Amino acid sequence: MASIQKRGDCYRITVSCGYDVNGKQIRKQETWRPEPGMTQRQITKAVEREAVLFEERCRRGQVLDGGIRFADFAELWFADYAEKQLRPTTIAGYRKMMPRINAAIGHIRLDKLQPHHLMSFYANLEEPGVRTVTRYRAQNTLSELLHSRGMSQAELARKSGVTVAKVSTLIKNGTGVYTKNAQRIADALAVPLETVFDPVASNGKLSGNTIQHHHRLISTILSTAVKWQVIFSNPCERVDPPKIARKEAKYLDEEQTVKLLEALQDEPEQYCVAITLLLYLGLRRGELCGLEWQDIDFDRGLLTVCRSSLYVPHKDVFEDETKNISSHRVLKLSDGVLTMLKAHRLYQQEHRLQIGDQWHETGRLFTKWNGEPLHPDTLTNWFSRFIRRNDLPPVTLHSLRHTNATLLIAAGVNVKTVSAHLGHSTIATTANIYAHQIQSAEAAAADALEEKLRIAKRKHA
């Protein structure tokens, strides 16, 4: 039951909320001040009513104070804010960072969290050996074990819950699987993890970009604590964020792009179309996988980008909105791209007739063999193998988006148009990512103007 104490012209209401892990009683308090002109009888009734209401809020967990540990508040933040406001892929990324954060500051009360705690944590993240072993290499015994048991890769994928593409890549290339998936495969085969996998040692440091992601997440959580009046200020505001070593976006030049397009001609039809669209339109992977035939206006040659197809482990492949409002955009298609898409639609229709009632109608441009949405990782894994087979520079699928932007800038397209084409939230985003390419284009433009004026001057003379 709540206790009430008169302190001057106010009343302190105290509620016992049990005991902590050390056996210390947890108390929550609230100060209540009567309104001017209230009689003593009115004050007594009002404060007793407020005490009952305050106790009920405490019982429901609706009352927070600075004494809550960072780890406990972070869970409330995920439940009451992140799950309702943020994209699933963003939440999944944040969840991956929480173990390191909680190990360092999770036990500290919010009202006791100081800048030096954060600076010590960031310094620790910069030390060698912070990156733990999270990836495994398949031994030759994995392939031999499948063969001896007469088990196909598809059957192993079904039993383990790991995608067929991931299983195939793992067996062919040996590396590329995280601890969770390695354990799933071992469990599906009913053998110890070490029987079929070797850990891939990783003693490197975390990048400045990764450390800053940790800083931003902590700051976001603490900013919410300030907004919810749990603490008065955010200690992250008194700490300089870790520095980031600026990296140039990886992309292909014109000759390399032509070589890639030529190599695509010998590849499966669906992958050829997908990679070509990424190059010509600068789409994100999720935007490409989320495309549906209804998004294409073949008469006017327009394509509407209005959804993403994403993947997170606990949700598998799912449909989501575009990354931001600006990402919802309409792109003009060239005649060549339109012809390619018409041929791809015909190819898909013929395949659908071949497999009959096994086809699942989703309306997607890019699908599995049975019409279900294509797993985004399937495209990524295929592209990685394609790059190696054709001796192309070691770029990623996202590098095709950078290639598209770089070629547009080099062709003299202004930054505002490029930004809208890519679906960036602001022009500043485009300018920051492609600062070097923009400077090169401006220098080329200046040289071209100077040469033109020099020629004109000679003619006039």
Range(s) within the chain of domains with CATH label 1.10.443.10: 254-410
pLDDT (tens digit, 9 = 90+) per residue, 58-71?
A: 776 666 666 788 99
Q: What integer best gives the mean pLDDT of the chain?
A: 86
pLDDT (tens digit, 9 = 90+) per residue, 311-346?
A: 877 677 888 888 888 889 999 999 999 999 999 999
pLDDT (tens digit, 9 = 90+) per residue, 36-91?
A: 889 999 999 999 999 998 888 777 666 666 678 899 899 989 988 999 888 888 89
Could you please state the CATH topology (level 3) that the domain comprising 70-130+206-238 is classified under: DNA polymerase; domain 1 (1.10.150)
pLDDT (tens digit, 9 = 90+) per residue, 94-122?
A: 998 999 999 999 999 998 999 999 999 99
pLDDT at 170: 77
Those residues with Cβ within 8 angstroms of residue 115's Cβ, 6 or more apart along the chain or in another chain: 235, 238, 239
pLDDT (tens digit, 9 = 90+) per residue, 342-398?
A: 999 999 999 999 999 999 999 999 999 999 999 998 999 899 889 989 999 989 999
pLDDT at 451: 67
Cα–Cα distances in angstroms (integers) from residue 305 to residues 282, 297, 301, in the given order: 11, 12, 13
pLDDT at 449: 60
pLDDT at 307: 92
pLDDT at 452: 63
Reported as half-sphere exposure (CB side, CA atoms, 13 A), residue 90 has a value of 16
For residue 39, give both structure tokens. Answer: 């009689």
Range(s) within the chain of domains with CATH label 1.10.150.130: 70-130+206-238
- pLDDT > 70 fraction of the chain, expressed in percent and rounded: 90
CA pair distance 163, 177, nearest whole angstrom: 11
pLDDT at 341: 96
pTM above 0.75, yes or no: no
pLDDT at 68: 84
What is the mean predicted confidence (pLDDT) over 258-283? 94
Class of domain 135-199: mainly alpha
- pLDDT > 90 fraction of the chain, expressed in percent and rounded: 42
pLDDT of 296 higher than 90: yes
pLDDT at 461: 61
pLDDT-derived band at 448, boundaries 50, 70, 90: low
Class of domain 254-410: mainly alpha
pLDDT (tens digit, 9 = 90+) per residue, 181-223?
A: 888 888 888 888 888 888 775 556 777 888 899 999 999 999 9
pLDDT-derived band at 435, boundaries 50, 70, 90: confident
pLDDT at 287: 94
pLDDT at 64: 66
pLDDT of 266 higher than 80: yes
pLDDT (tens digit, 9 = 90+) per residue, 135-157?
A: 778 887 788 888 888 888 888 88
pLDDT at 321: 83
What is the mean predicted confidence (pLDDT) over 438-455? 68
Other beta carbons less than 10 A from residue 223's beta carbon = 14
What is the mean predicted confidence (pLDDT) over 225-237? 88
More confidently predicted of 399 and 196: 399
Range(s) within the chain of domains with CATH label 1.10.260.40: 135-199
Those residues with Cβ within 8 angstroms of residue 150's Cβ, 6 or more apart along the chain or in another chain: none
pLDDT at 209: 84
What is the mean predicted confidence (pLDDT) over 422-448? 78
